[in-house]
Chain A
Amino acid sequence: MEAGSLAIEMRAITKRFPGVLANDAVDFDLRPGEIHALLGENGAGKSTLMNVLTGLYRPDQGGIWVQGQAVAFNSPRDAINRGIGMVHQHFMLVPTQTVTENVLLGLDKPAFFIDLPQCDKVIADLARQYGLEVDPRAKIWQLSVGEQQRVEILKMLYRGVQVLIMDEPTAVLAPQEILQLFDTLRSMVAGGKSVIFISHKLDEVMRIADRVTVLRKGCVTAAGLTAAETNKEKLARLMVGREVLFRLEKNEQPAGSPVLEIENLAATNDRGLPALRGVSLHVCRGEIVGLAGIAGNGQAELAEVVTGIRPATGGCVRIHGEAMVGEGSRGGEERRVRQVIDAGVSYVPADRAAVGTAPNLSVTDNLILKAYRKPPISRGWSIDRTAAHDRAEELRTEYDIMVPTVETSARLLSGGNLQRVILAREISARPKLMVAMQPTRGLDVGAIEGVQRLLLEQRQAGAAVLLVSEELEELMSLSDRIYVIHRGEIMGEVREAEAAQLGMMMTGTRLAEIEAGGRPVR
């Protein structure tokens, strides 16, 4: 293989962080005009490797060649100058600025004064050329997630990148939008660009990639496999290192009486815009009810209203028949939340670090976050620290929380361990209703299995579980019933779910329309 025939070549890349070896002598190459997938579970080192390639990190060892020439990047700007750009998983867009301003950010031209109307036109033309329609004058916070992703791609195209790196681009897209994205990528590649596609989703990788490289725990387990040379099971094993079961053990059990009843719920989001427009659903004892939907369609607000953190502007929420929120309920936020907690509701929030835990308090303190008000932890006005410590030790063993001592600060814990702390806290309270928001996001496969097993155990024990997740496969394998939410309304409820059907509902087609239209469901 001649050096000149590769667009990118990375040899023996090693990168260390305190306590973890993120990349261990990784080799990676990219041919011109190909879509090369970088596969691995969370924490395998894919993002780190790409951050090295784009100049965000400097490798401890190893070298990079672009079109045969050795390069050393000191900053993202160097990488962009050499034609390498990344579309991040978490968008790097300034919400209060317009599309044009975001695209122009960081460039040396225009030199000083900005002629906005002129730039708007240039960017609109570029967008049209690549089929990425978006209004240059719109502010980012006004755009949908799919449109924001288009802005990110435009940013890179405007700078003339030849190598485009997409970091988990489909996490926030509906199935139809994913197809559109794939079309865009294929047409870019046909025009001479190369794409690196980072993902942990096996289906997509098999569909879109020309070649696949698999990382596991910082090492390459398979380099440059073509689709012909592999299949989903092989890739899964390369990713995880052992047989991966794709179906969980879930036995049929009849659901009991309703625990959570939501009727016509309405609420606004932080910006004052309506987030929930008349949502009705129910969850019974002993069942897992899934809520599918693309991020930002009201799921977060729904969870916050049910758990009392957000007020409702209409409708009501009843737990065990008693009105907690909305009509018939009383009290301000604090009382609502306490009432809900006292009624036996547990909440696993989506944002572990920002909402679910207090980073500088100890693991013990985090474990008694809600339990400190009642005996045995509470004793009159004070907290019984011995009782708290003992409880923390119990939970540490039971839930396998890896931490030097229970007095360690929570901020030093890994994502998986933090989630175990939250689950330990919420499940040990023996909840009657559990609201779980994205409980497996960002975790590695072993931890994901653990969380899913715990959810099923709760279902077995008779709890009602409301599971909100962006992973359709997870919802389909765990849930007894699935609701789909879109722009604050329920599009439908299904028992035996199919991905295509769910996908249509997630993008705004009601179940009734799908069934009435008689359209064949692929």
Chain B
Amino acid sequence: MTVATDLEPLHRRILDRRRTSHDPEPYRAALISEATDMLAGFFASEVPGATVSGVRRVGGGASKEQFIFTLTDGGHSEAYLLRMDPRLAITATDRQREYDLLTAMNGVVPVPETAWIDPRAEHFPQPAAIMRVVRGVTKPSNSKVKVSGLGTWLGPDFRDRLKGQFLDHLVAIHAYDWRARPVPGFDVPDADPKQAARWIFNYWRELMEIDQGVQRPIESLAQQWLAANLPDTTDMVMIHGDYRTGNYLFDEDTCEITALLDWELARIGDFHEDLAWVLMRLFGTFDESGLFRASDLFEREEFIAAYQARSGRTVDRTVLHFYEVLSSWKCYIICAANALAAARSQHNHQDVLLTFLAGAAPVFADDLVNLLGHGAGQ
């Protein structure tokens, strides 16, 4: 077992939970009737007299079990989304933390409005949160099906109308005043200038070890290179952690972004971390003219220049390079460690999808080869 490393306290608890998760019972996706019973039981104590109807599963994700349902109380009906962990997810995260951040971000950027939470699985079999349903789609209706929204193609019309909002919301997240309005569960990596980078590196390094990820030389090299090149963080911001096309909803008629989704990897850290994630090759597409577009929105330099102009921040290319290596390394671990571990454990309901995602690992290994081809011996 790895000796105690410098980690954000919540991440320490998540990793300890994952390390000791040895429930022998295979996990099975909830039936609609079971989800209905769970919700009825929950609301019997939370909203006595309310009734649950129209429960249906929401597909498309690679991580959570999600159900849309209608809650009727006193003649008023409203649609909600139940978001529940499987026993072992592809990404190890915390529902309470995501819920608290969504609550804090309400009014800052468009987010689903939080309603209820069961963080310790007292009513549901696993930790769960309930939010109001937001209208919108994650990809154009005529778009091809893409696993987990990776490489979603928006096309020129949507692209032109979404890119400004996409950038504005990212800048707004980074401008969130977490000192004046601290969010419960979010610790600040300010013990020394390298702690922000060290926390996230240690978290993923230990996940790779716990999940017994598939080793290959470029991953081993990346791990040592990252440890030796942790950058200082001088401007700490709230970062989303998974900011990309596929993780927001937009209205196809008005082209308005109606909600930013999937905040479970958010933390306080370096804004370059979000920029590097946006620029990941697998989250982008090649447009009609063969030009690479990050999240099918921006050319690389266009994105960096636009972010600098709108945020007033200066992008440090050395720090950005570090976080691009980190992003590719994290994605490799998600595919070659976390996804396979969740499938092997039988503690997830999407084994076929998880082992399918492992097929993306060579793309991230190739990114590491290209990134580490420059100055890897440092």
Chain B binds chain A: no
Residues in A lying within 8 Å of B, measured CB to CB = none
Q: B residues within 8 Å of A by Cβ?
A: none
